[in-house]
């Protein structure tokens, strides 16, 4: 990775972490952030889908339209559920837990992949390795004892947090691979150029968009027993 690109990536990451902090402390910033993330994610998804379905016949246009609508509905539901999910302390902490898992999964995958290299994970994304995938799981587990102290131990156990960490990390990686698959089909390197050093919004938030809803569902059904 070039030094200039690494510097941009680090600067953008710091700004995103600061934005995350503000979003969890000020509702209006959270609302604006969710709207912007969802809007730009949909624009980038729309662009990828348009590049994949380039034929001008009726069936291709109709299928492209349906997928775009589904993506828009998913992003709208995602944003609304995230907003509702931080109305109470434990819900806010669990949401932060899911997002931090995604961040640690990305960092763990990058570090372990660079250090240990090894066999490629899949042809979808040539840069991803099995060692990187293992690193994603390993580093995300470091968050378990931290959030075990922050969350109410009466409604969540250490074992539950381990399960959540592994599953959220898994779906974070799957989300990353899914967007990589779309980029490969669309024959583009990045989904956009909005975030220096990262690419587009989807290049940074792909795992979060997939993993956080999964974490919320597991939290409700597994932990609260609903």
Query: Which pTM value belongs to this model?
Result: 0.85
pLDDT at 2: 46
pLDDT at 1: 47
CA dist 101 and 212 (Å) reads 9
Per-residue pLDDT of the chain in tens (226 residues, 90 and over written 9): 444 455 665 666 677 778 878 877 787 787 888 888 888 888 998 888 888 887 767 677 788 888 888 888 888 888 877 777 665 666 777 778 888 888 888 888 888 888 888 788 888 877 788 888 999 999 999 989 888 887 765 567 888 889 889 999 999 999 999 998 988 888 888 888 877 666 788 888 888 888 988 888 888 776 655 5
| Burial profile 165-187: b = 16 or more Cβ within 10 angstroms, e = fewer | bebbbbbbbebbbbbbebbeebe
CA dist 145 and 188 (Å) reads 40
Distances (CA, A) of 84 to 25, 31, 79: 14, 11, 9
Where in the sequence is the domain holding 138, given as residue range(s)? 3-223
CA torsion 93-221-170-81 (nearest 10°) is -60
- Please give the tally of structural domains in the chain: 1
Within 8 A by CB and 6+ apart from 161, the residues are: 97, 144, 147, 148, 151
């Amino acid at each position: 990775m070039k030094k200039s690109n690494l510097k941009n990536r680090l600067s953008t990451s710091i700004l995103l972490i600061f934005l995350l902090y503000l979003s969890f402390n000020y509702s209006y910033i959270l609302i604006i952030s969710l709207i912007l993330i969802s809007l730009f994610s949909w624009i980038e998804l729309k662009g990828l889908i348009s590049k994949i379905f380039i034929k001008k016949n009726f069936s291709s246009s109709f299928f492209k339209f349906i997928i775009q609508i589904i993506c828009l509905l998913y992003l709208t539901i995602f944003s609304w559920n995230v907003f509702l999910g931080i109305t109470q302390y434990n819900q806010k902490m669990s949401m932060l837990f899911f997002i931090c898992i995604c961040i640690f999964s990305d960092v763990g995958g990058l570090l372990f992949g660079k250090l240990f290299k090894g066999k490629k994970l899949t042809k979808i994304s040539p840069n991803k390795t099995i060692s990187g995938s293992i690193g994603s799981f390993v580093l995300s587990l470091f968050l378990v004892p931290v959030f075990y102290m922050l969350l109410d131990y009466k409604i969540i156990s250490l074992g539950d947090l381990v399960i959540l960490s592994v599953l959220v990390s898994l779906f974070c990686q799957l989300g990353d691979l899914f967007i990589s698959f779309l980029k490969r089909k669309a024959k583009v390197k990045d989904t956009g150029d909005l975030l220096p050093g990262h690419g587009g919004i989807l290049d940074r938030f792909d795992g979060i968009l997939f993993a956080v809803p999964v974490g919320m569902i597991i939290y409700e059904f597994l932990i609260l027993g609903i």
